[in-house]
Structure 1
Amino acid sequence: MTLAAELENHRTYLYRYALLQLRDPQQAEDVTQDTLLAGLEQLDRFEGKSSIKTWLTGILKFKIIDVIRAKQKEPQAIPPDQDDDTGLGPLEELFDDRGHWAAPGVSEWAKPEQAMNNTQFWQLFELCLQKLPLKTAQAFMMREIMGLDLPEICKELDVSATNGSVLLYRARMGLRTCLTEKWFNGETP
């Protein structure tokens, strides 16, 4: 198999990764194409110190950051029914009027080590991530997947450090709630 063919084999993974972050199929396809094109153009720079998938994911991260930066520069209309201040969406019922955690306790998570290796778990994780409000999911992806620091995340999302921390906290709690209900309580998809 040629190196170019191997690059193409990673298209689906790269597309799903981009779609989780950007939540726009067209933009996800565009950055996937840009990543594969950059990979082809830079094959001579690939030294083999990591897997091709890791190398392509690194390129993709920068392409996604570029798209997010471009979005931040564009003026965006906020629908009147969207409460942009909290960024909670359907997670609103998990917090009281003062923004404190109000949801019932989360049951024990059984054998998380096994779940980490399960493909169905990661499919469900992606679905849970997609259910989060956009800024909340973006903050989580920037921190946990792209490895950005809080100041970088806040700058990209144009939020204060406090709001950035709250977004990360709510993302973790939202994912925890979704995964607990849908996976760890035995309701696998």
Structure 2
Amino acid sequence: MNFTAEELEPHRPALLRYALFRLGNEAAAHDLVQDAFLAALEHPERFAGAAALRTWLTGILKHKIIDVQRKAGREITLSVPDEEDLSDLDTLFDQTGHWGADAPRRWEKPEACLEDQQFWQVYRECSQRMPPRSALVFTLRELHSLDVAEIGEQLDITPAHCSVLLYRARMSLRLCLEKNWFGATL
């Protein structure tokens, strides 16, 4: 089956939302959606028709996003340390390693937050404040559903180190959301 650019164009808004949510960068999202369209136009024979066209395009886009994130994870930036400051995390626990007085608060209506565009704006800003490597590990695990072994293999890190980065990302995100979503605003 051959496609035309006009046939793919109606899917652009949904694909842009998907890419923007995962990347947090509008220009990169536009580029990757365009790359996905080009891949579909260059290899229409790979569309077996077993799924909807948008589902197939989303799959192409997902793999392109993972490739970009994998590449970003392998790049070494000298200005950003590999290990972040964990002093805020230490204050959350007592000497035995259990939650201290600042245990996570219960979300009253978590589903409502997921529908709130302001929540996602705060989430994106919190994600961008994380060290890049921690944010990448979190994204690959929680948004792309890769397991720790797969992430470690893709980023050339041990599963133990991957688990540590994932833990730190979750704690960093928790602190940021509690401060900026449940408390004050960014």
TM-score by length of 2: 0.73
Find the counterpart in structure 1 of residue 49 from structure 2.
Answer: 47
Whether 1:94 aligns to 2:111 is: no
Change (3 A) 1:182 1:43: farther
Q: Which has the larger radius of gyration?
A: 2
The one of 109, 113, 126 equivalent to 1:111 is 109
Offset at 1:184?
2.8
| Greater RCO structure (CA 8 Å; 6+ sep) | 1
Deviation at 1:15, TM superposition (A): 4.2
- Structure 1: gaps of 5 or more residues: none
Distance in 2, matches of 1:157 and 1:137, equals 13
Question: Separation in 2 of the partners of 1:33 and 1:18?
Answer: 16
For 1:69 and 1:127, locate their aligned partners in 2 and report how far apart those are by CA, in whole Å: 21
What is the rounded CA distance, in whole Å, between the counterparts of 1:112 and 1:160 in structure 2? 33
- Give the unaligned 5+ runs of structure 2: 1-5, 92-96
User: How far apart are the structure 2 equivalents of 1:133 and 1:35?
Assistant: 28
Given that 1:150 and 1:165 are in contact with CA atoms closer than 8 Å, whether structure 2 keeps it comes out as yes
Q: What percentage of residue pairs aligned between the two structures are identical?
A: 37
Q: In structure 2, do the counterparts of structure 1 residues 137 and 62 end up closer, same or farther at CA, with 3 Å as the change threshold?
A: same
Deviations, residues 40-71 of structure 1 (Å, cap 9, x unaligned): 4456626373572x433321221133334445
Letter in 2 for 1:158: D
- Give the Å deviation of 1:143: 0.8
1:67–1:140 distance in 2 versus 1, CA, 3 Å: same
Taking a change above 3 Å as real, the CA distance of residues 160 and 10 of structure 1, as seen in their structure-2 partners, is: same
Change (3 A) 1:28 1:12: closer
Distance 1:114 1:41 in 2: 41
Q: What RMSD, in angstroms, separates the aligned Cα atoms of the two structures?
A: 3.3
- The TM-score normalised by the length of structure 1 is 0.72
Match of 2:119 among 118, 121, 141: 121
Indicate the larger mover: 150-159 or 102-111.
Answer: 102-111
Structure 1 residue matching 2:181: 3-state secondary structure: helix
Paired with 1:28 and 1:120, the residues of 2 have a C-alpha distance of: 20
